[in-house]
Every structure is written in structure tokens, then in C-alpha cells.
Structure 1
Amino acid sequence: MDELRAKKEKRFNLWITIISIVIPLVVALLFSVRLPGVEPLSFLPPIYAGINGLTAVLLIIALWAIKNGNRVLHSRLTTTCIALSLLFLIMYVAYHMTSDSTPYGGEGAMRIVYFFILISHIALSIIVIPLVLRTYAKAYLEDFAGHRKWARITFPVWLYVAITGVVVYLMISPYYV
């Protein structure tokens, strides 16, 4: 059984590595693409910020569920969070393929705070991809000790990315045209 699990895990790890490289590259590439003749999707930022907020809330509830022994609810919530993160990514890319980036208009210390939050959010949003996938794979393969080990790292990073997504939106929203 352990040999079969090891083979499956090796296959998962290959796919996790590929996905973790491809997603950021494709997103970066799509940022340079503009869809001609398509109206700007300016209604999307508050929606995808809301998705980030919902993800944060559901992650906290998922943690509560597993701490209270409700593995089924925990699994459903984390799967929902992955789906929400994918939906966020699709909307985020669609927005940036139809709209110019909005420059932050704040000044002084708030400008430094904004860019610190933005840069850490972007960097950790790339790092969180393999963390989430590896943590999820461990649970799927029923390696719950490994899942818990990875989750101790993944959870705070994912929660930070979700929360700072909302914070970045709130900080830049006054400057949307």
C-alpha cells in the first residue's frame, strides 16, 4: 500500500510542480494581452475582492471544522476555497486583459504600506499555489500526518493572501476610473 501511495504522490508532485510553474507564467503572459473591442470589465474588482474575503472566512471555518473533528465539512470548505481561488484568478486575469492597471494614488507612508502589502500579496500568491496543492494532495492520499504538517505552513500563507487581496482592493478602490 505504501508503495502505491508513493507512486501516486510522485505523480501528484510532478503535476503540482508543472501547475505551480505554468499558472504564474500564463498569468504574467496574459497581463500583456489586451482583448480588442471588448469593454473593460470594470465591475470585476469588487467581485473578486469579495471572493478573497469569502475565501478567508471559509478558511477560518475550515480550520474550526477540523479542530472540532468535522473532517467532511473541512474537506468541503477547503475544496470550495480552491474553487473560489480559481474563480478569482479567472476574473483577475479577465479584468487585466480588458483594463489598464490602476496606479495607487496615495502618498507618504500609506504608499509604502500599500506597496509592501501588494508585493507580499503577489509573491505569496505565487508561493501558495504549490503549498495548497501539496497540502490537498496529502489529504487526498490519506497521508493525514503529512497533510497536517503542510497545513501548518499553507493555512497562514493562504489566509494572508486572501485577506491582503481585500486590503489591496480597499486601498486602491478610490483610484479606479
Structure 2
Amino acid sequence: METTKNYKKLITLLSIIIPVAVAVLFGVKIDMTLPIFLPPIYATINGITAILLIAAVIAVKNGNIKRHEFLIKIAMVCSGLFLVMYVLYHMTSDSTKFGGTGAIKYIYFFILISHIILSIAVIPLVLTTFVRGINKEVEKHRKIAKYTFPIWLYVAITGVIVYIMINPYYVVS
């Protein structure tokens, strides 16, 4: 039977490549206008991810492992779609500056910065938790999932909150 150790190098590699690729692609600007405005779409995908994560935890607590596994796989696909759309948007559009002032500005930046940092930190957690789950390493899976779940959920929810807070400042052409 495969174990998480067999995937450790791949998980490490992906945990480095994904954030580096996103950072590099942020510096790439493509002169084109997308036919749709992506931020509300990828914010919705973040919201769906949060719902899927909660449903997955409910499923596993009710002993429905197959449903749990299915919901987690869909949540991972949603996170991947979010990432692709997020990068595509930032490659084709200028960054939007938050226009709020006073305390709300500090709240926004706290949420944004914690969201960004945890979105990087959650990558190896999600991948390790997933691999342990599909490899039926139940105790190891549970042990890490208790950290992965709240961080991934926080990232998904704060992605929606960041969108809601910056939405009034978008300039849509």
C-alpha cells in the first residue's frame, strides 16, 4: 500500500511551485479584456468551497466516508478553479486598491494578509491530508485534518469577505 511518504517530494514540490508560479504570473500582464468579470465568480467558488468543506465534515461525522471523499475532491477542484481564475484576472487586469479608510482599512488588510499567508500554508496541509485519506491512513489523516479543515475553511470564507469588501472599488470596463 502506498503511504504519504511516497508523495512527500511531490507535495513539497507542489507546495513551492504553486505559490511561486502565482507570484511570477502576477508580474505577467496580458493585454486583453476577458469576456466576463471574474472576481464575483471566483468569490462564489470560494463560498462553494466553504460549504463543501462543512458538508464533508458533516458527512464523515455521520460515517459517510464515500460522500466525504467526494465532497473533498470537489472542494479541491473548486480551489483549483479559483486559483486559475484569480491568476487569469490579475494577469489581464490592474490590481484594485481598497478605498476604505479608518478602522475598516486595517480590518480589510488584516483579513487580506492573513488570507494570503494561510492560502500558501494550506497547500501542503490539504495535499498531505488528502493523500493520507486516499491511502486509508485514517489516524494520520484525522490528526492533520483537524488543522487543515479550519485553515482551509478560513481561506475560503475570507476569500469571499475580501471580495465583498473590495467590490465597491472595482472599475469594470
TM-score clears 0.5 = yes
Could you tell me whether the CA contact under 8 Å between 1:41 and 1:95 is conserved in 2?
no
Gaps of 5+ in 1: none
Aligned-residue offset at 1:9: 2.4
Could you tell me whether the CA contact under 8 Å between 1:42 and 1:99 is conserved in 2?
no
The alignment yields a C-alpha RMSD, in angstroms, of 1.0
Is residue 16 of structure 2 the alignment partner of residue 21 of structure 1? Answer: yes
Aligned-residue offset at 1:109: 0.1
Aligned to 1:113: 107
Matching of residues 3-152 of structure 1 within 5 Å = 4-5=1-2, 8-36=3-31, 38-40=32-34, 43-152=37-146
Aligned-residue offset at 1:62: 0.4
Paired residue for 2:159, among 153, 160, 165? Answer: 165
Aligned equivalents of 1:40, 1:173: Cα separation in 2: 18
Aligned-residue offset at 1:70: 0.3
Shift in CA distance, 122/41, structure 1 to aligned 2, threshold 3 Å: farther
Could you tell me whether the CA contact under 8 Å between 1:41 and 1:99 is conserved in 2?
no
Gaps of 5+ in 2: none
User: What percent of counterpart residues are identical?
Assistant: 57
String of CA shifts for 1:126-158, please: whole Å, max 9, x gaps.
Answer: 001000000000011110100000100000000
Aligned equivalents of 2:167, 2:73: Cα separation in 1: 29
Aligned length: 171
